[in-house]
Amino acid sequence: MNQPTSQPASEMVPPREGSAVAADLPPTFPVASRIEQLPPYLFARINKLTYDKRRAGCDVIDMSMGNPTDPPAQFIIDKLAEAANDPRNHGYAPATGIASLRREVASRYLRKWGVRLDPETEVISTLGSKEGFGHLCLALINPGDDVIVPAPSYPSHVYAVALASGNPLAIDTTQPDRFLGEVARRCESPAGPPKLLVVNFPHNPSTTVVEPAFYRDVVALARRHSFPVISDLAYSDVAFDGYETPSILAVEGAKKFAVEFTTMSKGYSMAGWRVGFCAGNPQIVKALSTIKTYYDYGMFRPIQIAAVVGLRDGEAEVVAQSQVYQRRRDVLCEGLARIGWPVEVPKASMFVWARIPAVFADRMNSMDFAAKLLEEADVAVSPGAGFGPAGEGFLRMALIENENRIRQAVKQIGRAIGGELRSAGGPGQAS
Ligand SMILES: Cc1ncc(COP(=O)(O)O)c(C=O)c1O
């Protein structure tokens, strides 16, 4: 772990009582070193610029965060309202989720992936998959344990490990077979297997996807070297052109080694509701359940009840929402290609992971290029560096604006950088 966010604890000396400074300033207290080890929030500059522009009356087209802007299906909202009107639903709910919700998760796994799960011992609900992942790290990691995480990195994959006092080892995940080769090399090295392997396909931010054979190899490796695997399947419901996201749990014997996180945040557009699940290996599910009972209560019962009907009856809406993202993807990718910036077309997820054109990458890092798009085109995107060093040279564009706004964004980007792209003769390869 690198750069501390702020002053080191040892330098935070409270002023002497009675001094002028002590009278004027609130006291400062040293925070735990686990907080201090966290790096500065790399999206802060873009967020601040966006905020300043908006305050100045500018209509920023915001493609920076993977935060769905469409509402969930109406019948799910109606169920929430109905359940909230029942006075019996306002007490604490079980930390692991109500039985009908866990049953519904198991049914969906069976329908979607042919996976049989015992809802009592192999499924738990979480307050979104991010909370579940963070707490699972606390349940599985001892200080100094090596944990392999994907690079570029969804920040929680790195920092939840670090906050659990583990040692995140980020390995390039954009070529899954090479990634696995690296993991295998590590297992056979004197250091031995990692304490834990984290995989995430469709991957945020790179949008890399895998086929079922990849997970067969992961499970074989886990079996050979006896380490557990966490699969983060946050984007399983957003897939394009007939691509079907595989589940690691569909591999014969996977439950001996793996758990998988899914969520209603993306495909069901319920990000603010905080409905996620962890399923698979009963021992790991139990460990997560133990940690959770000490840290939190279950999600608000009306949300759980609405989630039950969403999982049971919402498949058509999930498919329709995925098609919405696919159309936005097409508008963005085709538009960027037209202005001389061809990008890789994703098969899944809510993002386009765009290599910065060489004419700019030669002289600008991803943070400066993202700031340029915001300043000159009024379009907010995420700089690749926000996902660790492996993200440098890229931008992540989230498909959360509607098609017209995306068309407008492309027009504005073209106006801002099209001239330079054309005079450089196309995007070329970033160096
Ligand atoms: C890879 C990945 N995992 C997990 C999450 C967290 O999702 P949730 O809303 O279920 O906590 C996200 C959200 O952006 C994500 O991109």
Q: Give me the CATH number covering residue 180.
A: 3.40.640.10
Helices (H) and strands (E) counted in the chain, each on its own, are: 15, 12
Q: What average pLDDT does the structure give for the chain? A: 92
Residue nearest to atom 5 of ligand 1 (CA): 130
Question: Beta strands of 127-257 (E only): which ranges?
Answer: 146-151, 167-172, 196-199, 229-232
Contact status, residue 154 vs residue 232, Cβ threshold 8 Å: yes
Residue nearest to atom 14 of ligand 1 (CA): 66
| Same domain (yes/no): 303, 325 | no
Among 293, 314, 335, give the residue marking a domain's end.
314
| Same domain (yes/no): 158, 236 | yes
Select from 124, 259, 265 the residue to mutate for testing ligand 1; criterion: most ligand atoms less than 8 Å from CB. 265
- Asked, for residue 395, whether it belongs to a domain, the answer is yes
Question: Beta strands of 48-201 (E only): which ranges?
Answer: 61-62, 123-126, 146-151, 167-172, 196-199
| Same domain (yes/no): 172, 254 | yes
Look up residue 31 and give its amino acid: V
Tens digit of each residue's pLDDT (9 = 90 or more) over 95-134:
899 999 999 999 999 999 999 999 999 999 999 999 999 9
Among 288, 314, 340, give the residue marking a domain's end.
314
| Both tokens assigned to 68 | 């769905």
Residue nearest to atom 3 of ligand 1 (CA): 234
Residue linked to tokens 């209603």: 264
| Same domain (yes/no): 153, 301 | yes
Quote the number of domains for the chain: 2
Q: pTM here?
A: 0.92
| Same domain (yes/no): 153, 294 | yes
Tens digit of each residue's pLDDT (9 = 90 or more) over 314-345:
999 999 999 999 999 999 999 999 999 999 99
- Whether 262 is in the pocket of ligand 1, judged by its Cβ within 6 Å, is no
Residue among 73, 155, 49, 95 nearest 295 (CA): 95
- Asked, for residue 83, whether it belongs to a domain, the answer is yes
| Same domain (yes/no): 263, 407 | no
Residue linked to tokens 């920023």: 60
- Whether 263 is in the pocket of ligand 1, judged by its Cβ within 6 Å, is yes
| Both tokens assigned to 174 | 């954009």
**Confidence bin at 44 (pLDDT 50/70/90):** confident
- Asked, for residue 390, whether it belongs to a domain, the answer is yes
- Whether 134 is in the pocket of ligand 1, judged by its Cβ within 6 Å, is no
- Asked, for residue 8, whether it belongs to a domain, the answer is no
Roughly how many angstroms between the first and final C-alpha of the chain, as a whole number? 27
- Asked, for residue 376, whether it belongs to a domain, the answer is yes
How remote is the CA of residue 36 from the centroid of ligand 1, in Å?
24
| Same domain (yes/no): 370, 292 | no
Pairing of strands 394-398, 351-355: antiparallel
Q: Could you give the 3-state DSSP secondary structure of residue 360?
A: helix
What is the C-alpha to C-alpha distance for residues 216 and 196, in angstroms, rounded to an integer?
17
- Whether 387 is in the pocket of ligand 1, judged by its Cβ within 6 Å, is no
What pLDDT is recorded for position 355?
Answer: 98
Judge whether residue 82 has pLDDT over 50.
yes
Judge whether residue 204 has pLDDT over 60.
yes
Strands of the sheet containing 382-383, edge to edge, are 351-355, 394-398, 382-383
Domain of residue 375, residue span:
44-71+317-418
Among 287, 314, 341, give the residue marking a domain's end.
314
Backbone φ and ψ of 380, nearest 5°: -100, 125
